[in-house]
């Protein structure tokens, strides 16, 4: 089996190379090797490699910067998934694509299900929603995973930012009115590998393609998430100026950003769990595993 993976230097792309290595021949590319904003180059790559599965974690993820670069965000997040789908359909391949909680406006009281109406608040969210639609309309067999608050041992993320600030500062203000589940890149990669293996065994005709929500279990807010990171890092022996009690909760209105974030990013994973028969770990275990990799004891 030949598997094409985009965004090989990103958090999820890095973990996918590990998780998919036993599954098949992996061709992992970065932006220099394949610029997703160049549809012609993307088509040429797919036709050259002739993959059985295209796995697309690459995206324009600079949420605030997207507000001033809508065309580039649209090309990468909206057009490219449709191009991948069109080429996959021609080559009898299928596509695994990752989307986001930002397709929702966050006004629902409970967890979002796959069938809930989307209403993105930002350019990033709109382009990611349009990418879902383009892939769904392409005619390709596909799996779309909507996820949230991705974090990994490789790459830049909120947990690593908090660790850096905790070395430098004795106090910190963090937003506490946005709720979701930090989800490890390793979990996303491992679930993806599991599904591709299942597809190999079951065959395409019986495989339950479609849209699924994939996040770690449980929920938190950014402030409590930051406190957890600092507490766990201290327990691992990391020397920090910041203590969990010195992280102050603030409302989003005190921390204005160019792009509006959804206040509720909770996502219901029941469809995924029922369909594939596995449970998802709590978000804390994923963060602990990442911190064990990045925190160096003195």
Contact between 81 and 95 (Cβ < 8 Å): yes
Nearest to 60 by CA among 72, 51, 49, 68: 72
Is 98 a catalytic site residue? no
- Six-digit token pair at 32? 């220099």
Contact between 45 and 95 (Cβ < 8 Å): no
* Alpha-helix runs per DSSP H in the chain: 11-20, 39-49, 70-74, 80-90, 123-137, 158-168, 185-202, 222-235, 270-276, 283-294
CA torsion angle 223 229 234 236 (round to 10): 170
CA torsion angle 144 25 193 103 (round to 10): -20
User: Looking at residue 267, what DSSP letter applies?
Assistant: B
Nearest to 73 by CA among 37, 100, 41, 40: 37
Using alpha carbons, list the distances in angstroms from residue 278 to 15, 105, 124, 137: 20, 29, 31, 29
CA torsion angle 138 22 189 55 (round to 10): -20
Catalytic, out of 102, 124, 212, 225: 124
DSSP-based helix, strand, coil % in the chain, nearest 5: 45, 15, 40
Distance CA 145, CA 151 (A): 15
Q: Which residues are catalytic?
A: 124
């Amino acid at each position: 089996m030949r598997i094409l993976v985009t965004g090989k230097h990103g958090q999820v792309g890095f973990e996918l190379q590990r998780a998919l290595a036993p599954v098949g021949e992996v061709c992992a590319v970065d932006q220099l090797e394949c610029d997703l904003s160049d549809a012609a180059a993307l088509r040429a790559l797919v036709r050259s490699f002739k993959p059985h599965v295209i796995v697309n974690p690459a995206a324009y993820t600079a949420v605030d910067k997207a507000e001033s670069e809508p065309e580039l965000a649209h090309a990468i997040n909206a057009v490219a998934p449709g191009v991948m789908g069109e080429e996959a359909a021609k080559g009898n391949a299928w596509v695994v694509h990752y989307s986001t909680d930002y397709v929702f406006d966050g006004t629902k009281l409970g967890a979002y299900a796959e069938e809930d109406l989307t209403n993105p608040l930002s350019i990033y969210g709109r382009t990611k929603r349009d990418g879902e639609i383009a892939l769904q309309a392409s005619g390709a067999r596909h799996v779309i995973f909507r996820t949230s608050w991705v974090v990994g041992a490789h790459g830049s993320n909120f947990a690593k930012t908090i660790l850096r600030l905790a070395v430098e500062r004795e106090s910190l203000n963090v937003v506490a009115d946005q709720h979701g589940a930090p989800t490890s890149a390793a979990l996303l990669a491992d679930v993806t590998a599991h599904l591709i293996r299942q597809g190999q065994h079951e065959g395409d005709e019986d495989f339950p393609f479609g849209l699924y929500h994939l996040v770690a279990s449980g929920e938190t807010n950014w402030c409590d998430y930051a406190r957890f990171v600092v507490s766990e890092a201290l327990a691992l022996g990391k020397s920090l100026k910041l203590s969990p009690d010195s992280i102050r909760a603030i409302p989003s209105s005190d921390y204005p950003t160019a792009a509006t974030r959804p206040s509720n990013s909770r996502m219901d994973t029941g469809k995924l769990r029922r369909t594939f028969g596995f449970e998802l770990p709590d978000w804390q275990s994923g963060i602990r595993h990442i911190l064990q990799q990045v925190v160096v004891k003195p």
